[in-house]
Structure 1
């Protein structure tokens, strides 16, 4: 086994992964020294849309009259005067990881030929098997990881890769490219479907037989544009339809407010039979802090559990975002509700340097559920995505979470329905 040495270091993601943030910012693109901004255009007619496209080009086309493009601030202000156009600046979103419960400042690098643990605590917990030595399942199901990219040459992931695409390049979609210079996306992918490598001496994810669709939608700093993310969501749904395969989208990213581009894309994918799983966010334990797209009813919002027990169950991490106590106990998913909980604190998984790292966040909880969904779907291929979702909810009800701020018997605003597990 010729593995790169594993490196575990602190602070590597601290710049951009400390929480869910949304902002409006100019694109880092220049034209003759003039900075351009990313803009979403809604035209009153296709003729109006084509006129703007002819002047500024298009990045992503969502319908005949809606698309994103780039222009200068002055051009943006001038076009806003056109009553046949509605222009909004495209927002940036960030990945949802949190290092407060992971490595501490000053930690030294830890080098190893092999992973320090092949089956991390999250795998043992979701399989409900403390003696677990390997994982299985997910064959024929796609897990689309929309993130900072994935090191598709990682020993524990290379055999799972089916698609590798970059939605962040200047030209838009680039096939065969999904480089992850951040680490976050590689970590997320490993939790969902790492297969231990060809010699089975590596680390395992929940559904190692699933197929990885690695979609880079975020830059190396962990932030990205909502139009790129929306385009990737729609592309995954179209690919699922074109190939006639079942697909789970994992989005360990988020913002504090609803974004129309992303929410429309989520609804589009859901209408195509795709299951969407998303990180709840790291703004807990405040109530009403679920980020988007997790807060959308057509996405499964996943809260983060710690590897410790309170009141006889796993505890919801303090950093994990919460829903609303007013909807406790109804077992109905509404906007801003947590749906399912999964391991998310000090999660050990693959890293972009070919090694391994331990980080925390609802980002780490979400791929546990995405992997579980793939595993269950592979066992029940005739199910629709809504039947699969109901099954996940029922599994969560079977293991109620009663530890952590807001956690209580039954459906609650901290843990949702509970912890969905294999058995």
Structure 2
């Protein structure tokens, strides 16, 4: 019986060359990722493993908007009422930066966008649906994330870190129920890269319990369902790793792409301090900029959010984040989903900064600036940098 599989190929490995040129041609060729979703039997999977053009093979796994707390909308906190800048934008120093993100192309892979929202007035939004549910954003998650990255002021409040971004790629990889598949996510990544995105941000994760339920609903016993789900997760990690290596290889022939992903919200430090969960896929993949969430303390300093998964590379505001609401106006959400767009916005500012300096703006240089300039003196006593990475992301000053 054939199952569905994602097949990731590196087409640069199939280039024709004379016998004595083959090694040089392979070394000089940029990665050319190509993905297809096909039905395969066990023997066919084994045959593909021997194909030099095949970089990875993995079963599609269910994806979703990360779990609570960010599912619930809330009115902007009273502390923000009448303010002209959200606390997240101010914490990054983006309101004091001379850069706006102008000239940077940002891709958001999420639940879509409310393109009619005033936060996106005057922008060129290129939308692509990878879910089959059509355009728009009925969940509100993608609209909120987009507002944090590049939203224009709404009702007199600045919500976007990089409000000068003029062109954005909106890949709808999570449907109107907030759910999707790793197949759609990978296709969205390739689409964004193919459309010259400087920055890609993803606030989503693999829904492992849903993967097990789907297998059990097919009549598989729990032990076998668990085993297949674990193998699928491992194969998916290898798929993301292979794709990110191809993206890195392409950077040698261009400027490259910074890929940002939320670490997830599975930790429960409110139950016990050591209830910390590691980063989820895709944020755990090689080359991803994994982002954790921080919150404000009454002292004015910051601490890790109770839900934020550990071992990020950077952290950013992720509690009571005010941004665009589907249908108009503003709403407050919390989660590492809200932290990742802050880092994507900061990356857009750094792309503009390095281009203005004439120092050869490249993805590696942008990533370096994000890590090197991260603030470390803003956290409360006893801060654990395994939860915070290099520190709080900062805008160029």
- Contact kept, 8 Å, 1:101 with 1:346, in 2: the verdict is no
Alignment of 1:359-378 (within 5 A): 359-378=333-352
Matched, 1:39 2:5: yes
Structure 1 residues 42, 163: CA separation in 2 closer, same or farther (over 3 Å shift)? Answer: closer
Which residue does 2:175 correspond to in 1?
Answer: 219
Moved more, 286-295 or 376-385: 286-295
In structure 2, distance between residues paired with 1:154 and 1:379: 28
Which residue does 2:376 correspond to in 1?
Answer: 399
In structure 2, distance between residues paired with 1:181 and 1:369: 24
SS of structure 2 residue aligned to 1:156: helix
* 5+ residue gaps, structure 2: 10-31, 50-56, 209-232, 251-255, 270-274
In structure 1, distance between residues paired with 2:3 and 2:331: 35
The total of aligned residue pairs comes to: 318
Which residue does 2:328 correspond to in 1?
Answer: 354
Quote the offset at 1:102 in angstroms.
6.6
Quote the offset at 1:201 in angstroms.
3.5
Alignment counterpart, residue 145 of structure 2, candidates 173, 181, 188: 188
Alignment of 1:4-403 (within 5 A): 38-41=4-7, 63=34, 67-69=36-38, 79-82=41-44, 84=47, 88-96=58-66, 98-99=68-69, 118-127=84-93, 137-169=100-132, 178-196=135-153, 201=156, 203-210=158-165, 211-240=167-196, 247-255=198-206, 257=233, 259=236, 260-272=238-250, 273-284=256-267, 285=269, 286-308=275-297, 313-323=301-311, 338-381=312-355, 382-396=360-374, 398-400=375-377, 402-403=379-380
Quote the offset at 1:80 in angstroms.
2.9
In structure 2, distance between residues paired with 1:164 and 1:157: 13
Which residue does 1:421 correspond to in 2?
Answer: 394
What TM-score results when the alignment is normalised by the length of structure 1? 0.67
Quote the offset at 1:369 in angstroms.
0.6
Task: Give the strand-richer structure, 1 or 2.
Answer: 1
Quote the offset at 1:232 in angstroms.
1.1
Give the alignment's Cα RMSD to 1 decimal: 3.2
Q: Deviations over 1:237-268 (max 9, x none)?
A: 1211xxxxx61000111236452444433333
- Contact kept, 8 Å, 2:266 with 2:277, in 1: the verdict is no
In structure 2, distance between residues paired with 1:135 and 1:93: 37
Q: Deviations over 1:70-127 (max 9, x none)?
A: x6xxxx6xx33555357753111112253279768xxxx89xxxx9655211112111
In structure 1, distance between residues paired with 2:71 and 2:303: 13
